[in-house]
Structure 1
Amino acid sequence: MRPWLRACVSTMLSVLWASAPARPADGRPPLLLSGEPLTLEEIVEVAQQGRPVELAPAARARVGAAFEAVLAAARAHQPVYGLTTGVGWNKDQDVLSQTGGLDPELLAASRRFNLGTLRAHAAGVGAPLPDDVVRAAMLVRLNLLLTGAGGVQPAVVDQYAAFLNRGITPVVPGRGSVGEADILQSSHIGLALAGEWQVRRAGTLMPAGQALRAAGLQPVELVGKDFLAIIGDNSLTIAQAIPGVRAARAWLEQEITVFALSLEGLNGNVAPFLEVTVAAHPDPGFAAIAGRLRAELAGSDLWNASERRPLQDPLSFRTMPIVLGNAWEALAAAESALLFAANHSGDNPLVLTDSAALATQGTQAGRYVVPGLPNAAIVPTANFEALPFASAIERLSLALAHVSESVTASVLRFENPAITGLPRFLTAPGNPGHGFGAVQKAVVALDSDIRTLALPVSLENATLAGNIEDVTNNGPLAVRRLNDLVEDLYQLASLQLLHAAQAVDLREGFHLGSGTKALHDGYRARVPFVAQDRILTGDIDIGAQYLRGLPRAHTSDPSPSERRHE
């Protein structure tokens, strides 16, 4: 056996031993990875809860077959982006000499090219991403590499699994991607797999080589197109979106009940979400929200006629079921787009081992068939383009901003006795002070921030790489803005809840609905009625924490994140 092959086998066996999963302390079996779709819950279990992973033997064999196709292309010196040529503007540069074989010198040149390219692209900026985000990205990438589309050597997927199972997490800067694959940031993951850069192990920052030695692992000798498969996708952006999308769902589900309580505080109308109203305009999101509102308000005095109730409420109340329904649909679309992106290859080029039909699709397509392997092909793609995903995130942000606008307008209506029939600024009887007059500024300030964060960024463009990379989608920026926006929404909803609870308490003898009463009573156990002016800053924070801690409501259909995306 040649020395270079012996070294590869030794590394492979070392990684296989070290990546063998152990059953977690809670008794859950390892997550079997095969390239089949993952759910968001499975990603969270591995990334946040430390569930180990195991590679399906058939999937690992598929990786090996794809790698053999890559080696065959290299032996034939077939023009392949990132394998026999450079990347970006350097795609016209040969990186391997035409020797007609894969001798040790050629393999050494390929390894130098892999490491050198990773080093040149490791230029991220900003504070490091949280470990669970990096782990989520590595899981997503590992599972997609198991389809064989990346064409990596089996030792690469083994090392990914070993890092996840041994708690070794590369340090990845938080910024540096414009959305056309997270190339700069993901380079740090590739370097760590190869024993360079920095990682955290058991919470301790250390050089990657030191962590590998402590875990009984060997650095992977990256070769072929390993580096390009590691960096050429959007898994880090996908991973950063998971917390924001999940938080948006949790917030929106609580906001339905907060709005219902706010409507009780107004003594408002149920007409906008009656079944007959929805039947005339059966938009799916609207129908789902209307059903939830009717359930939350079961037993409420809103269902009893009142001479003090106006015929129609301000639009911020009256249209809220449709505004919330729009956000509900946007959330479902974002969850679907997120799962699609997490479970479908963005590799460029794409390695195929079952592409016999390609040779019949014209001479140009036939050029991608690997010489000597009629069923294998390496095809250039643009599947890393994440615009559909970025657009879905922006749609969600915009829909949530519309909810914010309506929440803000509805809270401001509580200042006016002519609308509420309650004291000005919801000031309690016997309070000679200002009531909730001043706190409105915080409401408006949050809404302004939210609406700014919702502005689209996918059209912000720059031309890079010698005019080759001439469009961007800014998906990572859209994701960061969504995450910040949802944090603001919790503060805004806390202020909405502060007003709603105060208003219903000023309506002595008013019977709340079953859902709104539970929300109100839990809130009042933490934040008392404002009988006299007091510092409200702590109450606002407590309210936001209360809403974050509430369990999700039970809905008839699972969210897309709870289903496997086919």
Structure 2
Amino acid sequence: MVRVDGRTLRCDDVLAVARTEGPSRIEVEAGALAAAGRAWELAEELSTRRVVYGRTTGVGANKDDTVTGEHSTDHGLRLLRSHAGGSGELMPDGQVRAMMLIRLNQLLAGRSGIGPSLIEALANALRAGALPVVHRLGAIGTGDLAPLAETGLALAGERPWRRGGVAPVAVQAGDALAFMSSNAATLAEATLAALELDTLTKASHAVTALTYVALDGNPEAYATPVHEARPHAGQVACAADIRRLLGMEGTPAPGRRIQDPFGLRAFPQVQGPALDALHHLREVLAIEVNAGTENPMICVPEGDAYHHAHFHTAYVSSALDQARATVHQVAELSAARLGDLVEPDFTGLRPFLADGPAGSSGVMILEYVAHDALTELRQAALPVTLGSAIVSRGLEDHASFSTQAARATTAACRSYRQLLACELVAAVRALRMRRADLVDIPVRAAFEQAGAVLDPSTQDRPLTEDIARAATILDTLASI
């Protein structure tokens, strides 16, 4: 059961609902719904005595157009209809569910002034497992106008449901902008991608530890005194986890080389920034999914409305850009370690971990797959925050592009998963060929779990299925 109260929604709650096919088990806090109702009453009263953007006016460059008389009756529906112009592919089901949950939670923060009936309809849609038809394209990081307008029209009964449905609810004049004024769709994708990157970075510790054993790494690079000398939080945590996985207690035996290649030796220094960036990203998202971002903000304690720019998500786009950039650096080390695993000087085995007649290629193709994935990751890591846009007749003259940053982060997850899978296939193969004894250390569990799904044959054969299975097992390795 996920409790929705406008204050305490967690990223893990978003993931749980996203993964739940069918009805979602959510509990709306009665006090939060009552507070949202008071904000709605205040917004209605304010609209009778002062200008309130989007309620008594048009939106965007139409901010000075006053809506009065008979035109105010259907003002909300006209806004939703005009903004429901999403295009491109349909948004994935999990992201739609996550978007609906985040938007519901934000509305329960009690600052939108939206009618309680629309909030309850959104909650009922989640409980029923109903999914609106929502397209991916239509936002630039200044409010997910198109996706949320499509959702609002589905709740109003004017657009079809992709799955299930709920009874139509009336949309009042002030409901439309209040419902659309959020980046819930972007936050949904960003949250799901951030949690996947978090999982992959944890799994990379186990994969790196397996490669370390296969290459007889030098333990000095992970020693506690080394990292106490420059104690960045992520770096210290990474080195400590590698020591744990490898059972490094006291003074471990020296490795084969006085200094390893950077793929092993510099792993904590490169992984550390990624861990810190992901921690910061999750902190940003934790604030955003519980934030009252609607413009204008209806403030019950002050009895007034405030016009502002909370729709701008520079925090989100900047944090996503930083996370992708740091993960790309770590991914480069994975590709480098894969290169070490196919080198006889490092493993004492045949080139490319071949095991057959002369000229056998072994896992040679893994490097090509890995660098293909790394190139895609490099493109996904390019910062979106260097761009901008001027829209709505020049009034809206900047954009965060957090939407595009979230999409790029989803793409980065796919590429990084494939890259780590290639390293894992090679590391397990090298350990099998060396008949390595991992004794009783934690990383042995990673070897056994990966070995249970990877084909033990070392003859030349297609490795497609091995890569796919390794990619799947990474989620399990993250918890070792």
Please give the range of the TM-score, normalised by the shorter of the 2 chains.
over 0.9
The alignment covers a number of residue pairs equal to 477
Counterpart mapping for 1:77-226 below 5 A: 78-97=50-69, 105=70, 109-202=71-164, 211-212=165-166, 217=167, 219-226=168-175
Give the TM-score of the pair, scaled to structure 1: 0.80
**2:63 partner SS:** helix
Which residue number corresponds to residue 501 of structure 1?
428
What's the CA shift for 1:512?
Answer: 5.2
What's the CA shift for 1:402?
Answer: 0.6
Pairing 1:454–2:381 present: yes
Post-superposition Cα deviations, 1:224-270, rounded to whole Å, max 9, x if no partner, equal 32101111110111111222111111111111010011111111111
Counterpart mapping for 1:18-29 below 5 A: 28=1
Equivalent residue for 1:48, pick from 19, 23, 29:
19
Which residue number corresponds to residue 196 of structure 2?
247
What's the CA shift for 1:132?
Answer: 2.9
Distance 1:281 1:53, change over 3 A: same
Post-superposition Cα deviations, 1:415-438, rounded to whole Å, max 9, x if no partner, equal 333344332222237564122334
Distance 1:512 1:493, change over 3 A: farther
Equivalent residue for 1:316, pick from 263, 275, 284:
263
Which residue number corresponds to residue 396 of structure 1?
323
Counterpart mapping for 1:490-529 below 5 A: 490-511=417-438, 514-529=441-456
Which residue number corresponds to residue 43 of structure 2?
70
Which residue number corresponds to residue 272 of structure 1?
221
CA distance in 1, matches of 2:439, 2:379: 35
CA distance in 1, matches of 2:429, 2:386: 43
Distance 1:513 1:175, change over 3 A: farther
Counterpart mapping for 1:427-466 below 5 A: 427-428=354-355, 432-466=359-393
Post-superposition Cα deviations, 1:170-191, rounded to whole Å, max 9, x if no partner, equal 1110121101010112100111
**2:298 partner SS:** strand
What's the CA shift for 1:529?
Answer: 4.0
What's the CA shift for 1:352?
Answer: 0.5
CA distance in 1, matches of 2:177, 2:14: 23
Which residue number corresponds to residue 533 of structure 1?
460
Aligned partners of 1:431 and 1:532 also within 8 Å: no
What's the CA shift for 1:292?
Answer: 0.8
RMSD: 2.0
Distance 1:279 1:72, change over 3 A: same
**2:372 partner SS:** helix
**1:281 partner SS:** coil
Aligned partners of 1:85 and 1:92 also within 8 Å: yes
Post-superposition Cα deviations, 1:417-468, rounded to whole Å, max 9, x if no partner, equal 3344332222237564122334321121111111111111122222100001
Which residue number corresponds to residue 283 of structure 2?
336
Letter in 1 for 2:33: R
Letter in 1 for 2:224: E
Letter in 1 for 2:4: L
Aligned partners of 2:204 and 2:478 also within 8 Å: no
Aligned partners of 1:351 and 1:377 also within 8 Å: yes
What's the CA shift for 1:549?
Answer: 4.2
Distance 1:133 1:93, change over 3 A: same
CA distance in 1, matches of 2:3, 2:467: 44
CA distance in 1, matches of 2:3, 2:346: 59
Post-superposition Cα deviations, 1:178-210, rounded to whole Å, max 9, x if no partner, equal 0101011210011111111111334xxxxxxxx
CA distance in 1, matches of 2:192, 2:130: 21
Letter in 1 for 2:60: G
**1:92 partner SS:** coil
Aligned partners of 1:299 and 1:513 also within 8 Å: no
Aligned partners of 2:211 and 2:341 also within 8 Å: no
What's the CA shift for 1:519?
Answer: 1.4
What's the CA shift for 1:45?
Answer: 3.7
Which residue number corresponds to residue 4 of structure 2?
33
Distance 1:429 1:201, change over 3 A: closer
Letter in 2 for 1:351: I
Give the TM-score of the pair, scaled to structure 2: 0.94
Distance 1:315 1:547, change over 3 A: same
Rg: which structure is higher? 1
CA distance in 2, matches of 1:345, 1:455: 30
Letter in 2 for 1:402: Q
CA distance in 2, matches of 1:518, 1:224: 59
Post-superposition Cα deviations, 1:310-350, rounded to whole Å, max 9, x if no partner, equal 10011122101221122111111111111111011111111
CA distance in 1, matches of 2:347, 2:147: 53
Aligned partners of 2:381 and 2:412 also within 8 Å: yes
**2:47 partner SS:** helix
What's the CA shift for 1:470?
Answer: 1.0
Aligned partners of 2:194 and 2:278 also within 8 Å: yes
**1:200 partner SS:** strand
Counterpart mapping for 1:419-430 below 5 A: 419-428=346-355
Post-superposition Cα deviations, 1:92-144, rounded to whole Å, max 9, x if no partner, equal 111114xxxxxxx5xxx323111111111111111211233222212221222
Post-superposition Cα deviations, 1:531-553, rounded to whole Å, max 9, x if no partner, equal 32111112111211222344624
CA distance in 2, matches of 1:244, 1:305: 39
CA distance in 2, matches of 1:512, 1:497: 19
CA distance in 1, matches of 2:184, 2:172: 21
Post-superposition Cα deviations, 1:265-299, rounded to whole Å, max 9, x if no partner, equal 11111111111111111111111111111111117
What's the CA shift for 1:32?
Answer: 4.0
What's the CA shift for 1:510?
Answer: 4.3
Post-superposition Cα deviations, 1:354-399, rounded to whole Å, max 9, x if no partner, equal 12xxxxxxxxxxxxxxxxxxxx111101011111011111111111
CA distance in 1, matches of 2:440, 2:316: 38
More deviation, 415-424/404-413: 415-424
CA distance in 2, matches of 1:276, 1:551: 26
Aligned partners of 2:320 and 2:405 also within 8 Å: yes
What's the CA shift for 1:305?
Answer: 3.5
Distance 1:433 1:346, change over 3 A: same
CA distance in 2, matches of 1:252, 1:510: 26
Pairing 1:482–2:444 present: no
Aligned partners of 2:14 and 2:191 also within 8 Å: no
Pairing 1:542–2:469 present: yes
CA distance in 1, matches of 2:198, 2:229: 27
